[in-house]
A = this chain, B = another copy of it.
Amino acid sequence: MSDWPQHIHLHEEGPREGFQIEPLPIATADKVRFIEALADTGLADVQAVSFVNPKRVPGMADAEAVAQAITRRPGVRYTATWLNLRGLERALQTPLDVHGSLQISASESFSQRNTGKDTAQTLQEQRLVLDFCRARGMPIKSAIVMTAFGCNLEGAIAPARVVERVEQLQALLAEYDMPLPYLRLADTVGWAHPNGVAAVVGAVRERWPDLTLGLHLHDTRGTAMANALMGLSLGVNHFDSSCAGLGGCPFAGHQGAAGNICTEDLVFMCEEMGIATGVDLDALIACAHMAEDIVGHPLPGKVMRGGSLSRFR
């Protein structure tokens, strides 16, 4: 384990991951103050909202209102997600930092269940995104492969399948003469284990040695921190994460939506290991408590309860 990065880049997804699944409505003003507080901790990328069907995801019906209300901190990128061209068009009407991105599932069954599209249809949708981006001179800055480690419908996913999906995206990008600078590998439903992380990262690296890789790790089965450690040991230095472990509440039946890896737990571990995060851990812990106050139930983060070590040093 000697390929540790010197610093990591975190993409904070708590406001989007967390607030979109809460059963009770969260006030727009609460979302905004949480996003602003996160941006004050040193986090450079904060995902604010998702532009999705408000009938399917009522918790994100105020996405535009949130996006408009944020007082922006210079140097911070406020990002958003969207599932299709319609969502992207909505996102572009806001002041958020929207860039072109592609998405695909390693598991075809998951894709059909999640978006109603099989792989061929998903690739067609990505073509529409590419047309749209090219017409506006928007570069494609990232792609994500969901269910890259396993899926409740298809079981374990072979690393070769992930490579195949990335090849499909790369072939599409080549048609548009666009490069892919950044690829995220997502453990969407909590199947990843450290050897699996090593296998998928290794397979993708072997094929595209210069492609920057990021990990999106859900903690459904308690392995997120160990999976992140394996990623770190291989030099992976981009991680999605979620303040307080927002995005899954193990205490309210959100079993299928367990939270992303907890940002402040990951920051704690990295900083203790000498891997810089650029984040003020104590300020981030205060955000985690704010998140718990806002959602009104316990969240799974650990260091928010154990506390940082700064008071002992």
Question: Which chain B residue lies CB-closest to A193?
Answer: B272
Given A194-B273, A229-B229, A306-B258, A222 and B155 contact (CB-CB distance below 8 Å): no
Contact B223–A222 (Cβ < 8 Å): no
Contact B273–A220 (Cβ < 8 Å): no
Residues of B within 8 A of A312 (CB): 152-153, 155
Within 8 A of B (CB), among A283-313: 298, 300-303, 305-307, 309, 312-313
What does the 1/0 interface line of A253-270 toward B look like (CB < 8 Å)?
A: 001001000100100110
Given A223-B225, A229-B229, A258 and B193 contact (CB-CB distance below 8 Å): no
Max chain B Cβ within 10 angstroms of own Cβ: one of A220, A226, A273, A303: A226
Q: Does A219 contact B (CB under 8 A)?
A: yes
**Cα separation A312 to B151 with both chains bound (whole Å):** 8
Contact B272–A222 (Cβ < 8 Å): no
Q: List residues of chain A with CB under 8 Å of any chain B CB.
A: 1, 150, 152-153, 155, 190-191, 193-196, 198, 219-223, 225-226, 228-230, 233, 250-251, 255, 258, 262, 265, 268-269, 272-274, 298, 300-303, 305-307, 309, 312-313
